[in-house]
Structure formats: structure tokens, C-alpha cells
Structure 1
């Protein structure tokens, strides 16, 4: 009964052991990273770039640092290129749903590149050892999402079409994420590298509204695609950003005595 209900909203699992395995791996690995964030083991970027530095001599890249701008470009450029390239691979993007999915992924990552180049203000560096797995995750997930959509091309459409609702949710997510990134960028004057308590928009209620809108955007992508892989990636992203936002709030509480404790981490009034 439960499986039948789910298949009203999703395409059936594709005839690919790799994609089905990646659906499980994607959700589980991101959930574990989110748990690590909540427990204080951070990916070293943003305010956590020099927390928990790597120990030992395995892998020269583990202790190598990049400027935050270069690191962020590394995170998003390969996934953006993969999403854009899908339109030029013969037969890769078949049908309106696949075109919308690839367009949404391209818009998401090119918007992030735009923010990296023109919006964000930087205060630290990024460990290459953290940048590489994040880059790998974004790129592999983008390619896997597009490939899972390709494999669904000859399947019957789900009984409930979520495509248009997904477009609306995606647009809300990307607009809200951009707006709150813009507010964050305005906290600092040029050359200022200190952190301040964010204000404006949903920052009055939660510390990480940009994460909240990123989650909303990826659920919009999942609704456009309606594949098991896209849903698993959205779930994994949720788990990761829940952990990261909890760690961020804990950090702000430790640094600012006047941090308003009624401000939650991610979801207004709840968490």
C-alpha cells in the first residue's frame, strides 16, 4: 500500500543498480555529514574553516587552503558545467520535464557562481580537503539526477503531476536564498572580516534562512523531477543543513553574548 502510494508521486525505480545505489548513498552520506556537523566535526569552510584542522600527513591536499572565493568557485563550477553541458549531449535531455530539471539545476549553480563573484564578502579560507568532497557531491548528484531523469523517459508519468508546483517552490527557494545571501553580504564593509548578528528578512526569526530556502529549492527540484534519486538528494540536503544550522547557532551563541535566544536555527519558532 505504501509503495503504491509513493509511486503515485514518483517514477518507478530505474533499471540501473548504480542509480538506485546512489539514491541510498546520497541520502545516507549527507545525513552522516549533517550529524557530524551537529556534533562539532565540521567541513572547513565559512566560519568553521579553521576548526578541527586535519592531523597527520596523509594526503597533502588535506591541509592545503584556498581563498574562500577560489574554494567556492571550485564547489559550484563543475556542477554548473555539468548541468549546462546536458543540453548539448544528443538525446540526454528528452521532454519538457527533463529540460526543466536541467534548467533548474543550471540556474541554481550559476546563481551560486554569480554570488561567489559579485555578492559574498569573505572572512576566511577553505580547506582543499573539505572543498573536494563537496565538489564531488554536487557534481555527481547533478549528473545522477539528470541521468535518473533520462532513464525515466519511457516510463508512465506519475499519477500526480508535481511539476508545476515544483517550479513555484524552486523559484521561491532560489529567490529567498539569494535575498538572504544579499543581506549577509551587507553586514560587512569592504575589508571587514568580522562576524555580526544577521538582521532583516527571516534573520529576525532564524539564523540560517538561506539554508531554509536552499532546502525549499531542492524540494522544488525533486518535485520537478519526481524521481527517487532527486527526492533522496533533497532529503540528504535537509539532513546536512539541519546539522550545519544547529552548529552555526551554537557558534553564534558562543561568540555573541547578546545573541537573541528566541532566534531559532532553521525553522521559525520550531528549530
Structure 2
């Protein structure tokens, strides 16, 4: 019964040992990233760029360059999908997914270039890990969507719900990034407790809306891999937001204890 309900939300896909191995490797990688964050082994960017042990040959990038590198390859994957599959096999869902991926990563790079105010550095190793993860996720979402061509659509169609959730996520993410950018003057490198929007309830509302962005894309796609990406991003950002809240508590004595990490009133 449960299997039949689940099948109603997911595309049938060509099954092979290589696909199963790829899914397994993806789950393992996302689980490792999540456990690292929960155990204090943070990926070294943003507030945590200088966390952990310092390697003698550790290469540091200015944050603007490092953060741009995080998203640029995935943006290239999104743009390339229109060149590799120009007609989208006549599938509106495929066009929606390609567009959502491209818009998301284009927005992130434009924010890096024109919105965010940075301090500190990004460790090159971290930039490579995250960039490769985003690129692999974007390229694989496109690939597995292409693989569904010729298979029956899921009996429960979520693509238009997905568009609404995606737009809510990308809009909310941008709004809270904008609020963060207004905390600093051009010459200011320090951190402040964010205010406005959902910052009165959670310290990482931009993460919450980023999760909604990936959930929206998974609803548009309705492939097993897209759901894995949404779940993986949610778990990682859950752990990252928890670490961020602890960081704020350690830095600010007046940090409001009622402000949660990611989910209002819950976590």
C-alpha cells in the first residue's frame, strides 16, 4: 500500500546497477557532509572559514571569489542543458526543471557579485567540494530527467505545485539575503545579529527558503534523484543552521534564546 502511494509521486526510471550505485554514493556523500557539520567538522566558508585545524598548505580564496566558484559550474550545467536538450524532448516538465536550475544558480552568482558583503576567506578545498557537489547535483538532475522520457508520468502531478514552492523559496531566500547585506556598511567586516523578516524566529531563514527551493525543484522533476537532492540539502542545512546558532550564541551574550536555528518554534 505504502509502495503504491510512493510510486504515485515518482517517475518510473530505467533501473541498472550503475544507477543504484550512483544513488548510494550520493546518499553517502550527503550523509557525510551532514555528519561533519553536526560533529563540528565544518566546511570552511562564511563564518566557519577558519574553523578546524590549519593545514600548512591550505589555500585561501577571497570570499567573493570562493563563493562565486561554489555556484558557477552548476550554473554552467544549467545553461548547457538547454544546448544539449534544446527541445526538452517536447516535455514542459523538463523545460521547467532546466529553467529552475539555471535561475537558482544564476541568482546565487549574481548575489555573490552584487549583493553580499563578505569578510574572511573561503578555503579552496571547501570551494572545490561544494562546487563539485552542486555541479554533480544539477547535471545529474538533468540527466535523470532525460532518462524518464518515454516513461509514464507519475499519477500525482506535482510540477505546478513545485513551481509555486520554488518561487516561494527563491523569493524568500533573496529577501533574507538582502536583509543580511544591509547589516554592514561597505567597510564593515564585523558580524551583527540579523533583524527583520523571519530572523525574529530563526537565525537561518535563508537556509529554510533554500530548502524550499530544492523541494520545489524536486516536485517539478519528480525523479528519485531530485528527491534525494532535496532531502540531502535539507539535512545538511539543518546541521549547518544548528552550528550557526551555536556560533551566534558564543559570540553575542544578548542573542535571543527563543530564536531557533531553522524551523520556527521547533528547531
**Bin for the TM-score computed over the shorter chain:** over 0.9
Cα distance in 2 between the residues matched to 1:125 and 1:267: 28
- Equivalent residue number for residue 187 of structure 1: 183
- Equivalent residue number for residue 143 of structure 1: 139
Cα distance in 2 between the residues matched to 1:244 and 1:108: 20
8 Å contact from structure 1 (residues 78, 139) kept in 2: yes
Q: Which moved more, 1:178-187 or 1:84-93?
A: 84-93
RMSD: 1.4
Gaps of 5+ in 1: none
Q: Which moved more, 1:97-106 or 1:20-29?
A: 20-29
Cα distance, 1:92–1:48 mapped onto 2, change above 3 Å = farther
Cα distance, 1:193–1:45 mapped onto 2, change above 3 Å = same
8 Å contact from structure 1 (residues 42, 48) kept in 2: yes
8 Å contact from structure 2 (residues 88, 95) kept in 1: yes
Taking CA–CA contacts closer than 8 Å with sequence separation of 6 or more, which of the two structures ends up with the larger relative contact order?
1
Cα distance in 2 between the residues matched to 1:197 and 1:114: 24
Cα distance in 2 between the residues matched to 1:70 and 1:102: 25
Residue 267 (structure 1) aligned with residue 263 (structure 2): yes
Q: What secondary structure sits across from 2:88 in the alignment?
A: coil
Cα distance in 1 between the residues matched to 2:86 and 2:7: 26
Cα distance in 2 between the residues matched to 1:92 and 1:50: 46
Structure 1, residues 128-152: CA drift from partner, whole Å, max 9, x if none? 0111010100001111000000000
Alignment counterpart, residue 198 of structure 2, candidates 197, 202, 225? 202
- Equivalent residue number for residue 68 of structure 2: 73
* Superposed displacement of residue 5, structure 1: 1.4
Alignment of 1:1-271 (within 5 A): 1-55=1-55, 63-90=58-85, 93-94=88-89, 95-271=91-267
Cα distance in 1 between the residues matched to 2:148 and 2:54: 42
Runs of 4+ in 1 over 3 A off after TM superposition: 15-20
* Superposed displacement of residue 90, structure 1: 4.4
Cα distance in 2 between the residues matched to 1:35 and 1:209: 21
Cα distance in 2 between the residues matched to 1:66 and 1:24: 32
Q: What secondary structure sits across from 2:61 in the alignment?
A: strand
Structure 2 length-normalised TM: 0.96
